[in-house]
Structure 1
Amino acid sequence: MAEFVIKLADERGRVQEQVQTASTAEELRARFAHAGYHVFSVKARSGIGGMGRRKVKLEPFLIFNQQFLTLIRAGLPILGSLQMLSKIQKSAYFRSQLDDVSNRVKTGEPLSGAFEAQSGVPVMYTTTLLAGERSGNLQEVLERYINFQRVSLTFRKKLTASLIYPGLLLTIVTGLLVFMFTVVIPQFAQLYDQMGSKLPELTVGLLTFGKWTQRNFLWILLAFVAVVVGLWRYSITDKGRDTVDSVRVGLPVFGKIWLKYQVALFSRTLSTLLSGGLPLVPSLETAARSISSRKVSRAVGSAISTVREGKSLADSLTNTGVFPDLSTEMISVGEQTGALPQMLNSVAEFFEEDVATALTAALSLIEPAILIVMGVVVVFILISLYLPIFSLGSAASGGQG
């Protein structure tokens, strides 16, 4: 799918521009012309390396689905509900996506297919809609999806909130060090140059580094920005995503926390899909695409092939060597008792609580560690700067004696 900017007029003659997704410009033009619009132009949207594609923000998307479910329950048709909700969206991009969904539904395309054509819409959402359409129970599967997203969003907010203080502390420490090396130390260098006295080697080294930092601060800043941008550009490539995921999983302490978080996300996603009536293999395929970790996603992918051969899900996940033993044991119990969706939900709850506890404990150790490192660095700088003054004071006292 590619993104296009389409200029069109509706049946009332109102001219508007929208950003829409389609396989080709001709397909997009035909779609809107068939829906009764007069199409002036269709142009490819500019973007470097796919950077023009956006992901749907989860919070507004969750609110939209809550409103959508309410309207459907009230008896409004799907098309009318979509058109009504499109008009009240604050985001122009999301509004254009809903307009495209409405147009596709208007021409007879199923709701799941219409949303699947939009860039950034979660795979799990379109799969959930497909399951609801096939079973004729769209309201129930939408409600399950909303509950899933509400729990996931709440948990994600808790994790983000727990990282705010360490991040703020690290920013303050970095800012303090930059201030000392670019302002304080060069001022001491000017003072000692005027005095012309011999300085200890520790002080000379620090002052030399401070002068160099002040002279080259702009180049250092540009180099830092270039490195950050380069790493970001690399991280959005396939190879870069693999590297980032390997680094995440390999981190001491935090690697295990990240892995448990991905297992919790997989379990909750799979539970929601199975509860919606989707078969196990399609549910696994969707869950694998919904996971951020490439390692866990590949492990689920390899488990899918063994599940197709007739092996149990628990054994298939155990053979990957990625999933914790406790999770596969609980899944095995769920398979044996015929309550797999409920057990997967229990797995998710257990690991989410475990992640929250482990992250809190890890951060409680990191915060004082940051303060200790900051204190050691500041004390080292102060001793280096004031050592000549102490030496001059000692010499003056000795001369008076």
Structure 2
Amino acid sequence: MAEFVIKLADERGRVQQQVQTAATAEELRVRFTHAGYHVFSVKERGGSSRRKTKLEPFLIFNQQFLTLIRAGLPILGSLQMLAKAQKNSNFAAQLDDIAARVKNGDSLSAAFEAQAGYPPMYTTTLLAGERSGNLQEVLERYVAFQRVSLSFRKKLVASLIYPCVLMVLVTAVMVFLFTVVIPEFADLYNQLGNKLPPLTTWLLNFGTWLRHNFLWVALVVLAIGISFWRFSVSERGREAVDGLRIRLPLIGNIWLKYQIALFSRTLSTLLAGGLPLVPALETAARSITSRKIAKGVVRSIETVREGQGLSDSLTATKVFPGLATEMIAVGEQTGALPAMLNSVAEFFEEDVSTALTAALSLIEPVILMFMAVVVALILISLYLPIFSMGAGQTGQ
């Protein structure tokens, strides 16, 4: 028997965390699910400090694992072989622990769930494959899902690189102007002793103050950044940040569609692997980042349990776009729900890609225009006294 930390919610929606004893994490999850609780996560006590496995190495591991299983090698031997081949010591240690658990009689899904850092969708997919006897087939579907997810994520990151680099350059130029260039002009004008325009005076005073207090300003900005990060990883902070992100112009709608696409593809993969609808919805809710959408999915689970259709349940949450629920309704009526969910994911992924490209095409000129206006104002303010002195000498 082992101790597990279980995070769950009761019928009133109150979230709590308990330490319970069970043979496996899956046994504990089933016990509380049958008791009427919604289980968010089950982790072995003391294992939460391990680092999360990165998506790309995890994909490579699953491709290799699938290849070995296809070749007829036993699961235990495949795990031991892949553990020895891992360069990442943390990942290798986890695989060694998984192999030891499997050797002692644990199921593969329970052995992975006892570790920290693995997506809930993966352990649930393994469980579905073990129960149906089609582990190889569900692993193939999961690897295909991972490939698409990784490719789409890389495309999004690549789209955001240029605007981020541009923002860094703009910030660096501003810091250089205010901490180096402007104080040099302040020294020059102090030596000349001429009366300066109000805008130039304010700019020189601010530049001089920033140069002398730059370290304190940097420390304050760093403190604010750390405080925001700590707030954003808390339960209340995640909800606040998610709500703010969804309400942002342009970006909010893109983020919402991306989460809908992720949910649809996750649910499609789980259903195609043979998992029943309610457990698949519970896993899909834990797999998405948006708290608003996850809560909407959790609310829909209750009505699905009562016999209502998935499309009607998702529509009642008022979170999912009408097009998504209409396509899901067609999938339910035709008996091809996994395939239709996959189509929903493909549609919204394409929509996200198009909308992101359009948004970035607007953001980049705005950044450049902002930089041009600020630099122009600074230069005009700095050189205005020189122009005034030149005009005065010409008039004499």
**Shared fold, TM over 0.5:** yes
Q: Choose which of 279, 289, 311 in structure 2 pairs with 1:314.
A: 311
Matched, 1:207 2:188: no
Distance in 2, matches of 1:202 and 1:380, equals 10
Partner of 2:37: none
Q: How does 1:88-103 map to 2 (within 5 A)?
A: 88-103=85-100
1:157 maps to a residue whose letter is K
Partner of 1:37: none
Partner of 1:30: none
Q: How does 1:172-211 map to 2 (within 5 A)?
A: 172-211=169-208
Distance in 1, matches of 2:274 and 2:147, equals 20
Quote the offset at 1:45 in angstroms.
7.5
Partner of 2:72: 75
Q: List per-residue Cα deviations over 1:199-221 (Å, max 9, x = no partner).
A: 01110000000001000000011
SS of match in other structure, 1:321:
coil
TM-score, length of structure 2 as denominator length: 0.88
Distance in 1, matches of 2:242 and 2:157, equals 19
Partner of 1:239: 236
Q: How does 1:108-257 map to 2 (within 5 A)?
A: 108-257=105-254
Partner of 1:363: 360
2:357 maps to a residue whose letter is T
Quote the offset at 1:235 in angstroms.
1.0
Distance in 1, matches of 2:46 and 2:276, equals 38
Q: Choose which of 288, 291, 306 in structure 1 pairs with 2:288.
A: 291
Distance in 2, matches of 1:223 and 1:83, equals 49
SS of match in other structure, 2:115:
coil
Q: List per-residue Cα deviations over 1:316-362 (Å, max 9, x = no partner).
A: 00011000000000000000000000000000000000000000000
1:351 maps to a residue whose letter is F
Q: Tell me how many residue pairs correspond in the alignment.
A: 360
Distance in 2, matches of 1:162 and 1:374, equals 21
Distance in 2, matches of 1:237 and 1:96, equals 29
SS of match in other structure, 1:190:
helix
Quote the offset at 1:285 in angstroms.
0.3
Quote the offset at 1:54 in angstroms.
2.0
The range that moved more, 141-150 or 231-240, is: 231-240
Q: Choose which of 99, 105, 112 in structure 1 pairs with 2:102.
A: 105
- Please, what is the CA RMSD of the aligned residues? 1.8
Matched, 1:377 2:374: yes
Distance in 2, matches of 1:376 and 1:2, equals 58
TM-score, length of structure 1 as denominator length: 0.87
Distance in 2, matches of 1:379 and 1:117, equals 59
2:263 maps to a residue whose letter is F
Q: Choose which of 39, 60, 74 in structure 1 pairs with 2:57.
A: 60
Partner of 1:278: 275
Task: Work out the percentage of aligned pairs sharing the same amino acid.
Answer: 68
1:116 maps to a residue whose letter is E
Partner of 1:40: none
Q: List per-residue Cα deviations over 1:30-85 (Å, max 9, x = no partner).
A: xxxxxxxxxxxxxx979xxx6x3422101000000000010011111101100000
Distance in 2, matches of 1:397 and 1:290, equals 73
Unaligned runs of 5+ in 2: 6-18, 24-44
SS of match in other structure, 1:118:
coil
Distance in 2, matches of 1:114 and 1:307, equals 30
Quote the offset at 1:287 in angstroms.
0.2
SS of match in other structure, 1:336:
helix
Matched, 1:398 2:392: no
Distance in 2, matches of 1:203 and 1:346, equals 60
